[in-house]
Amino acid sequence: MGLEPNDSQTQPPPFPAYAPMPAAAPVKKSRSGWKIFWGIILTLSILANIALVLTLIGAAAIIAAGQAGIFAEEVLQEGPRSTKIAVITLQGVIDDEKAQDVHSQLKSAAKDSRIKALIIRVNSPGGRVSSSDEIYNEIREYHNKTKKPVVAFMQGIAASGGYYTSVACDKIVAEPTTITGSVGVIMGYFVLQQLLEEKLGILPVIVKSGPKKDWPSPFQPPTEEQQQYLQDKLVKPAYERFVKIVAEGRPSLTIDDVRRLADGSIYGSQEALNEKLIDGIGYFDEAVDQAKSLAGIEEAQVVEYRKQFSIADLFGTRGKSILKITKTTLYEFGTPEVMYLWSADQSPR
């Protein structure tokens, strides 16, 4: 006999049966991080190469346009290019480098037939005797060869060697606040005896052929005889030349007039004008007008020589330790430096 189906067996389950969720497919690793990394590397590489190219171009431009000792013209006042007034600046303590710079600029000016007059802009307390005299001589030679007028324009300080170079010019114009004069000579050197013997324990030994061979000696204080010797051999000849140069450059002054003024005193512009050491007081425009007047021209383009930057200028200066004592250092310290230089400890009259 067959079995009848049970009600409980034929009824569907109270909740539907769900099939299990299929397993998720494995996810591949993203390559976006590597793409960003390599993108950054590539960008940095490109930027580095661009910077290198720009650096090389800049270096080439500097080398091509900035050779050492080359001066370029910069226009200060507009005017006809066929008629020019050139400005040469002498600034700072006068040394051999300054003298060479002035020489180069005067050489350039002498080759330019469009230049009708020169202005020597002076802002210097002076410097070495030989360098000051060299600049003076260069200006006089330019004037004698070209027959073109030269005007000195004094700014700030134009004393001692600065004044020495100015008297080479036909006329001198000074700003109202200029300090000038200081006609005279100064000399100094170092005595290293205590430094060497007491501090460093070094005893110098000097073998010489005559008693004056090492005068002045950096290894002992000078005696009165040695000081008089230096006065006669170095200071006096340089002083006498200074007096002679001023008397020749300032026809309105006699030798006696110059000697009266040449005691090392400094003078303000008005006093210098009263003493006939200068010809006028004014600013740059007055100096330009004076140059035009002497050249017999009404209009001119005013240009200034400017030294161009160069690789040689960038790397030419070598650092020197002030603590390093060499034979050359001892020689420089012990050798008297005869200067046409205004010493700032002098008080004005």
Residues catalogued as catalytic: 160, 213
Which residue in the block uniquely carries the two structure tokens 């005007």?
A: 151
Which residue in the block uniquely carries the two structure tokens 């007008």?
A: 289
Please give the Cα distance from 99 to 94 (Å, whole number). Answer: 7
Helices (H), the chain: 7-10, 32-65, 96-111, 129-146, 161-166, 193-194, 224-230, 236-249, 255-261, 269-274, 284-295, 311-316, 327-334
Tokens of 247: 């008397």
CB count within 10 Å of CB 178 equals: 25
By 3-state DSSP, what share of the chain in percent is helix, strand and coil, each rounded to 5?
45, 20, 40
Which residues are registered as beta bridge partners of 127? 94, 340
Report CA-CA distances (Å) from 157 to 61, 160, 185, 283.
Answer: 37, 9, 17, 14
